[in-house]
Chain A
Amino acid sequence: MAAGNNSSKPEGISRRALLAGMAGTALAGALAPGLIGTARAAGNGKIDLGGYAGPELTTEPVTLRFMRQDFTPDVNALLEGAYAEFTAAYPNITITEEKVPYGDLQKKLLVYIASNDAPDIMMGRTDFADAYHAGKVALPLQDYFAPEYVADIPENLRNAASSGGNLYCVPWETSVMLLYFNRDLFEKAGVPTPPEVEGLEGGWTDEELIARLEEVNAKLKAAGDNQSWALAAAGQGNGGPGANYSQLESIWIRSQGDPNAAKDSSAYKTLMGISDDGLSVSGYIDTPEAIKGMQYYQSLFSKGLTPLGPVPNQFPGGIAATYFGGLNFTNRFRVPGQEPKFKWGVSLPPKGNIVFNGNGSDSPLVWSKAKHPAEAVALLAFLCNDKNRLAFHKAWGSMPSRTSLRTAMSEFATEQPFKMASALSDASYSVPRTPGYFDYFNAMNPAVKDIALGADPAKVLPDTAAKIDRLLAKYK
């Protein structure tokens, strides 16, 4: 894909582009009323409460608190506009919000729960659905949403957001990890670019990716380019190795697994990442397959293909041949005036035994002890209605979490990065299911970093498995 030559209408985060997108969305909604089945009549029909199907809202004065991450100013403005629309329809409801740095969001949520004075709505993650269930942290939402709305969430994502038969959070978006590449750097090195496929077949394997990156690295160095890297530093989390196991580094381990293998095989256990009861990881994250996956990951660092520490904006800055990023990069690179200064393309993440994608994603929940649960769910449903969601995805660039929204966005039917992202999302897996995923995640990130820095995966993974087993014991 060449910068600036996309065939579709460019999507922007400028106000003009945003308004155009919202107008287009409203038009699409008007022309295709049956496209997205939701219970629009609920809430007295004052405004579109999306999938809300709970009781009528109170007329008593109510204050709702919403804790979320801070977005870019235009996305914040979008949400603030939505609050204004909601309070105009329900003047008795006041909305206050607290913006928290993204990295602190889940810690803050836990602190609020411990304080017994949590906001009514909090931005959670599907990753912690089992914790929301086991700790009775979140309100089961299925009774407040129309069944057709819930069914519109793809099954794998719906399952990720559910536990014990209850839906605990509403996926706000979904996560895909794509392999971006700088076509100019590959051309300069004389190395073929990764295959730009639309489905899950035909991408590079782990071995092919590493071999090609080595080739790119060697040829760029031979051509006197000592500044460029074969693979950019991670853009997630803290930006270095061990940045975000859920979304990024787990690819290297869990792709070595096999969903069709026998349940007691190490290949199956490698994919699952945890025992069925969610309390043991020994024999799951330290299998020969997992060790092999981490050896591939380690070689990226030991062969000097990617930096050992955080280096921001390498790929957008044109000094890295490849980068693992979400769909938001595709959207960002399509914005007129924000195109990168190089030609780019998108391929699949490397294939081990399978092509793996984790679907852990931001998902607001309603606190189980919220004083006004119906009003809180109604606000959440309003924020998740078609108009607000489409406007959000156009501005923020992330991938929608409902099938009908993807259908409403034409690029998912016509453009390669979006088609591939859709295929990846459909085949994605939740994080390993345990009420202690916060512990799991926080133990895996430093282990992955240690491996990147040279520690032996065959030692680190069993040690980490033993540590996680100890940590999960408290959830018995």
Chain B
Amino acid sequence: MQATAAKPPRERQWTGQNSNPILGLAMILPAAAALALFQFLPLITAVLNSLQSFSPFDQSSTGWVGLDNYAELLADPAFRSALLNTFVYIALMLGLTIPLALVLAVLLDKRLPGSTWSRNAIIGALAASEAVTALIWNQMYEPSSGLFNAILNAVHLPTQPFLTGSSQALISIVIMSVWKDVGLPMLIFLAGLQAIPRELPEAAELDGASERQVFWTITLPLLRPSIIVALFMMTITATRMFTPILIMTQGGPQGSTTNLALYSYMLGFEFQSPGSASASVVCMLVVLALVTAAQSFILRDKEAK
């Protein structure tokens, strides 16, 4: 029997020579249309609305007011407080979620006993309804009959106000959000860990590197792309945090938990000011753009240059 040498498959290369420009345009059209309709149009509408005033009764435009809505916002102490709180939410969410997610991912990657159960529990929290989760945690934080104070009282510690104290309410919401949202960065890290070739840590261990050295010098640098994705995702999540705040504190006590998302909602739907609400939304987008740009700058790959 004569053996026939199998021809290696010819690698297809995109040359652009035989491309059909109409077909190409047709293929990107749905995505471009969707982007234009659902991303850019609302953004442009928000910017345009932020430069107009509206009737508080039927929300019809009553004319262009230039930057008056922005000036009004800056004069409102509640806006300044909401802006500050937005940064605090971002800092706390990133500061707590990313390290915790990393630890959980590393532990799950070791496939210790109970890993499957733990992974399912964390993903379960992520999949749970935000509103339902907030309602449950609201009950647990309740000062007189909540679970957390019952535990504190059982160990003879004083009752804490949690959501009803202006110094604790924001961090209480963040803790609930960390519990709920840690699953997403954890999954990103887990995928990143599983993409690291096993030979690298094994070789390092053979060379005498300790577990800690392996983590800091091999695992963490190789996780860099995953960390960047997780940071961006959590920044967006923290900036637009809304449901738990609305359900658990409605922005109080004394505005201590109001962020720009809630502030914008209140202006638009409770205080009949669509122009100011749009201006606030534009400010929120600027904050998000600034934070993500700063992250991109800090995390840029200097060696890749």
Contacts and interface: CB of A to CB of B under 8 A. Distances in A.
Interface in B58-106: 58-60, 72, 76, 78
A439 B58 contact: no
A238 interface: yes
Contacts of A9: none
B272 A474 contact: yes
A110 B58 CA distance: 7
Interface string B263-298: 000100111110000000000000000000000000
Interface in A86-138: 107, 110, 113-114, 116, 131, 134-137
Given A107-B269, A309-B142, A439-B271, A449 B58 contact: no
A453 B253 contact: yes
Contacts of B253: 449-450, 453-455
A442 B164 contact: no
B55 A135 contact: yes
A470 B271 CA distance: 10
B168 to A, nearest CB: 11
Contacts of B166: 453
B42 interface: no
A304 B144 CA distance: 10
Contacts of A455: 253-254
A311 interface: yes
Contacts of B164: 308-309, 453
B250 interface: yes
A466 B270 CA distance: 17
A450 B272 contact: no
A110 B272 contact: yes
Contacts, number: 84
B94 to A, nearest CB: 28
A309 B144 contact: yes
Interface residue tally on B, bucketed by range: 20 to 34
Nearest to A470: B76
Interface residue tally on A, bucketed by range: 20 to 34
Contacts of A454: 165, 253
Contacts of B165: 453-454
B144 A436 contact: no
A446 interface: yes
Interface string B151-185: 00000000001011110000000000000000000
Given A309-B164, A446-B250, A455-B254, A474 B144 contact: no
Contacts of B270: 107, 438-439, 442
B59 A450 contact: no
Contact of A436 (B56, B60, B145): B56
Contacts of A449: 250, 252-253
B252 A453 contact: yes
Nearest to A442: B270
A467 B78 contact: yes
A475 interface: yes
A453 B161 CA distance: 9
Given A311-B144, A453-B165, A442 B266 contact: yes
Contact of B144 (A131, A307, A439, A446): A307
A423 to B, nearest CB: 35
Contacts of B59: 110, 113-114
Contacts of A436: 56, 272
Nearest to B146: A309
Contacts of A435: 56-57
B252 A450 contact: yes
B58 A114 contact: yes
A309 B271 contact: no
Interface in A135-161: 135-137
Contacts of A131: 57
Interface of B: 53, 55-60, 72, 76, 78, 138, 142-145, 161, 163-166, 250-254, 266, 269-273
Given A455-B253, A471-B273, A474-B272, 15 more contacts: A110-B272, A113-B57, A113-B59, A114-B60, A137-B57, A137-B58, A238-B250, A435-B56, A435-B57, A438-B270, A442-B271, A449-B250, A453-B161, A470-B76, A471-B271
